[in-house]
Structure 1
Amino acid sequence: MADLARKRNEELARILHQLGWSPERLAREVNAALPAALAISSTAPYKWRDRGMVPRAPHDQTVCEVLSRTVGIAVTYEQLWGQMGSNRGAKILSPRLLTDPWTADTAQTALREAGADAAPVRLTDLFRGDELEQAARHWASPAPEVTGGEGALRIAREQLADLRLSYDSKQRLERTYGGGLILDLAKAELAMVGKLLELGAYDETLGRELYGAASRLARLVGWANYDMGNDAAAQRAFVAALRAAHVSGDPRLGVSVVGCLAVQATHNSGGRGLDAVAMLSTALRAAEEVLTPRERALQLGRIARAHGKKGEQISAEAVAERAFLALEGESGHGQEWADLEGMVGEGYLFLGDHERAQHLLAGAVAALSPERARAKALLMVRLADSYQRTGEHQEAERIADEARRLAAGMQSARVARALRDFDAAARATVG
């Protein structure tokens, strides 16, 4: 520990008093959360509280996590130790997740938070739209210097290849069985990559690629959280992914993360006041030259759907046409074409154009492979909803039953919520 300032830590003292905990109780709780080899003495918290001493990693972060779980709201590193003057150890990112400098160090901190098993993030912790839009602009600015890379763990390209294989396998599982199946695994792997960034030895080129791998994993953690209905936690993981993408210097990664934020904002309350169309359109224009046809079509499909949600039919149709043109003539993109049909079909469903919605949604459902079971189940519920609204109740119920069978055992709160909403609407129609 570093005895940096012999002054009382008033914030730690306040929280312990609020909980009715003695320093010995804090020591027991910290030891219960860590392996036996990392146990601290019962007197260590007295030094933290009364003498202003700051514990080294991992004890600094563990204290934040233990207190967060017990208090019920996040207790951050900045709040607990920031005034003590230490920059040591793993931190829980400060509340300025969106406004802290966009450096490699703060990217590491954001990634560490996204991979940690911290206290649950509440829905009221959602960022405002203008805050997210400001953060979304940073991916296009020049990449910062890669700091670190002087640790004892030698990182080689073989490790990067292993990380990519692991990411691909988890993404396939998530698409088939839902985010709940892989969320904890993805968070654990993200925490591991954070350790490699912190303790690894790598040059600038390898370091940027490692940040790219971390960005993909953080994006997957965010998407799994979103699929499980954890909107605020999803946002924080997406912002961590955006920060890591910025350090990686790959604008394609940044656009993909902005696209995830736009999807979240289109379908629910993710991003209070966020204009998904404006944010994603800006990102797409900035990276137009580097995106593949598949990537361009995906983001255009998301924009078209968002236009539909806003009731902007002319804009939705124009962007949808651009999206389909992006894939036209491209071979081997059958699943991407089905994805695009599904997104545009949802846009027409929002607009109340059921004839076109049903045509596109049915095409997407028929073309999606078994590995895309989660997306297929969702689109089946959308299709059943469209038939329900046009009075074709038997067809609607038939398709909904198929969706239920496909979704049996699936760990996706989005699918479960869509089915509940359909059932409630069906009951209201009968009533």
Structure 2
Amino acid sequence: MADLARKRNEELARILHQLGWSPERLSREVNLTLPNGLAISSTAPYKWRDRGMVPRAPHDQTVCEVLSRTLGIAVTYEQLWGRMGGNRGAKILSPGLLTDPWTADTAQTALREAGVHGGPVRLTALFRGDELEQAARLWASPPPPVTGGEGALRIAPEQLVDLRLGYDSKQRLERACGGGLILDPARAELAMVGKLLELGSYGEPLGRELYAAAARLARLVGWAAHDMGYEAAAQSAFVAALRAAHVCGDPRLGVSVVGCLVVQATHSAGGRGLDAVAMLAAALRAADGRLSPSELALQLGRIARAHGRRGERAEAEAAADRAFRALDGVPGHRQERADLDGMVGEAYLYLGEHERARVLLAGAVAVLEPARARARALLMVRLADSYRRTGDQEDAARTADRARRLAAGMQSERVARALRDFDSATRAG
């Protein structure tokens, strides 16, 4: 810890006052997140707040993550510590996380960082339009050569099958039980795939398949981290997934990763979601004609929800119409249609169109399978919030209670935060 400036950290003091937390409460919450060997004293937050001291890694980023989860909006490193001592504490993964050369070597570096448990990473400004535009151009360029593959560890195609089975099982658990259940195992498996890329013996075709497996795992790590409110870790994992998808040469996989960034940007502070939407629109153009109807509908639904969040009715409805047309007449997409109904329902909820929102949200909740329990719980809370906003307190309470029963034991900070926000709004009303 470095006593860099003996001045009060007004931003930390403001946030603690907003939460009604004492410094001792902050130390308890931080220690619940960290391994036992990294616990801090109960007096450390007093020094951070009152004397301007800046904690070293990983405590600096852990404080940001704890406050972000509790507030429901991102608390960035620069916001909390940037004025207090500059350049101390957490390391930046890369000053050009999106714009560093898009090579196999930089993809391996990003994957290695994303697979480190609790690695200290600042919340970077990924959603700046200039960097996103440049990244979209680089990502859409032809894949780079696969370097490496000259190690002594022989990689067999059968191992790729095992990796895919492991990914599928973790994804099912995440959808049913929340990201907290699978985050650490998925990180460990991503680190293992990184070792295979580093130490393995493989030719170009097998190498590209390995990068595809790494991209899927990094995307899952990012999604699980986002579900738990670890937004900085989610961003670094998503960018690692995007880089690995670029190396493997699969534009469909890359589009899916950019779509995850859109979801994160849509719900982040600062209203920057449409910058990421511009990147997704560029990705969709780059992958034109190569996406399946369900893949296209998913990404267009995410765009519609992001526009709804910003109050852009015409743009939201145009994206929603394109999404529904993509699935029209295509059999076997009942779950995908329910997903789309849920996203467009959320868009209408943001736009204040409660009747249209409720029809879509209720339809999605009724159709989504029990294996999609996390998505169903989130949509139930959205539906309850719509009832609350229009004065139907009985239906609001009943729907929220259904969501609570479904979410019992679920390891999802997104669901927990949505329920907390609903309860706070109900009390305030």
Aligned to 1:152: 152
Aligned to 1:224: 224
Quote the offset at 1:321 in angstroms. 1.2
Quote the offset at 1:266 in angstroms. 0.7
Q: Which moved more, 1:130-139 or 1:419-428?
A: 130-139
Alpha carbons 2:61, 2:121 under 8 Å: kept: no
- Structure 1's unaligned 5+ residue stretches are 1-14, 19-32, 34-66, 74-90
Q: Which moved more, 1:175-184 or 1:314-323?
A: 314-323
**Whole-angstrom CA distance in 2 between matches of 1:232 and 1:126:** 10
User: Residue 393 and residue 119 in structure 1: after superposition, are their counterparts in 2 closer, same or farther (change >3 A)?
Assistant: same
Alpha carbons 1:148, 1:197 under 8 Å: kept: yes
1:410 matches 2:410: yes
Deviation digits for residues 159-194 of structure 1 (CA, Å, limit 9, x no counterpart)? 111111110110000000000000000000000000
1:353 matches 2:388: no
Aligned to 1:162: 162
Aligned to 1:283: 283
Aligned to 1:389: 389
Aligned residues: 350
Amino acid of the structure 2 residue aligned with 1:129: R
Alpha carbons 1:128, 1:271 under 8 Å: kept: no
1:247 matches 2:255: no
Amino acid of the structure 2 residue aligned with 1:226: H
Aligned to 2:47: none
Quote the offset at 1:96 in angstroms. 3.2
Alpha carbons 2:178, 2:227 under 8 Å: kept: yes
Q: How does 1:58-137 map to 2 (within 5 A)?
A: 68-69=57-58, 93-123=93-123, 125-130=124-129, 131-137=131-137
TM-score, normalised via structure 1 length:
0.77
User: Residue 296 and residue 163 in structure 1: after superposition, are their counterparts in 2 closer, same or farther (change >3 A)?
Assistant: same
**Whole-angstrom CA distance in 1 between matches of 2:395 and 2:273:** 37
Which is higher, the Rg of structure 1 or of structure 2? Answer: 1
Q: Aligned with 2:391: secondary structure?
A: coil
User: Residue 95 and residue 122 in structure 1: after superposition, are their counterparts in 2 closer, same or farther (change >3 A)?
Assistant: closer
Alpha carbons 2:92, 2:122 under 8 Å: kept: no
Alpha carbons 2:179, 2:411 under 8 Å: kept: yes
Quote the offset at 1:134 in angstroms. 2.8
Q: How does 1:335-350 map to 2 (within 5 A)?
A: 335-350=335-350
**Whole-angstrom CA distance in 2 between matches of 1:270 and 1:105:** 33
Deviation digits for residues 65-100 of structure 1 (CA, Å, limit 9, x no counterpart)? xx8447879xxxxxxxxxxxxxxxxx9954432232
Q: How does 1:304-343 map to 2 (within 5 A)?
A: 304-343=304-343
Alpha carbons 2:342, 2:379 under 8 Å: kept: yes
RMSD, aligned α-carbons: 2.3
**Whole-angstrom CA distance in 2 between matches of 1:267 and 1:230:** 13
Aligned to 2:208: 208
**Whole-angstrom CA distance in 2 between matches of 1:71 and 1:408:** 31
Alpha carbons 2:153, 2:199 under 8 Å: kept: yes
Aligned to 2:180: 180
Quote the offset at 1:309 in angstroms. 1.0
User: Residue 70 and residue 262 in structure 1: after superposition, are their counterparts in 2 closer, same or farther (change >3 A)?
Assistant: closer
**Whole-angstrom CA distance in 1 between matches of 2:325 and 2:273:** 31
User: Residue 69 and residue 275 in structure 1: after superposition, are their counterparts in 2 closer, same or farther (change >3 A)?
Assistant: closer
- Structure 2's unaligned 5+ residue stretches are 5-36, 38-55, 63-90
Alpha carbons 1:361, 1:379 under 8 Å: kept: yes
Q: Aligned with 1:148: secondary structure?
A: coil
Alpha carbons 2:132, 2:275 under 8 Å: kept: no
Amino acid of the structure 2 residue aligned with 1:368: L
Aligned to 1:258: 258
**Whole-angstrom CA distance in 2 between matches of 1:72 and 1:386:** 35
1:294 matches 2:302: no
**Whole-angstrom CA distance in 1 between matches of 2:60 and 2:373:** 39
